[in-house]
């Protein structure tokens, strides 16, 4: 398949589970997106589970690491100053289906156990969205599943 005319960035803040990050890396390769890892990781980038989930695609991941949220924001302001960015959390009522995606754009997700830092949710309430869940029996979606849902909806809107 030829290169598409869109560019997305997946930003993971302090991811903790290697297979999730490996799966997300594979999604990024499939969609020609950039994967940003922010803050301390709950694993090593040499972790076998990360590599197993990413299969032999991990070497193709366009990977950028940022020590802090402020460092990522500086990277964005330097490289893509007009790029919108969106946070994803269950702690809002705004559905991600209401986003009209443009390219480039960044989609920001928190760590598996706690989600996004509350200060980011409070600082950017108009940029905070959820992937709706239709059952009270589920607390949250798996991180790599949530990223896939959001990323492929953005891709669909660009086709």
Which CATH number does the domain housing residue 87 bear? Answer: 3.40.1280.10
Domain count, the chain: 1
Q: How far apart are CA 159 and CA 146, in angstroms?
A: 20
Query: Per residue in 121-144, pLDDT tens?
Result: 999 999 999 999 999 999 899 999
In a domain? residue 3 = no
Rounded to two decimals, what is the model's pTM?
0.94
Domain assignment present for 142: yes
Domain that residue 74 falls in:
8-158
Residue 101 in domain: yes
Q: Is 2 within a domain?
A: no
Residue 63, in any domain of the structure: yes
Tens digit of each residue's pLDDT (9 = 90 or more) over 30-58 = 999 999 999 999 888 886 766 676 667 88
Is 1 inside a domain boundary?
no
> What does the CA dihedral 17, 9, 89, 149 come to, rounded to 10 degrees?
-80
Peptide bond into 147 cis (omega under 30): no
């Amino acid at each position: 398949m030829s290169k598409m005319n869109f560019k997305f960035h997946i930003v993971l803040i302090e991811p903790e589970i290697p297979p999730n990050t490996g799966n997300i890396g594979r999604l990024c390769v499939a969609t020609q997106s950039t994967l940003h890892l922010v803050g301390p990781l709950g694993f090593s980038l040499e972790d076998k589970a990360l590599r197993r989930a990413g299969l032999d695609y991990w070497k193709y991941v366009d990977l950028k690491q940022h020590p802090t949220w402020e460092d990522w924001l500086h990277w964005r302001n330097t490289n893509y100053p007009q790029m919108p960015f969106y946070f994803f959390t269950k702690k809002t009522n705004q559905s991600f289906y209401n986003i009209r995606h443009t390219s480039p754009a960044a989609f920001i997700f928190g760590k598996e156990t706690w989600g996004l830092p509350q200060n980011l949710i409070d600082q950017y309430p108009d940029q905070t969205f959820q992937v709706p869940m239709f059952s009270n029996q589920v607390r949250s979606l798996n991180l790599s599943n949530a990223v896939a849902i959001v990323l492929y909806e953005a891709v669909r809107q660009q086709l």
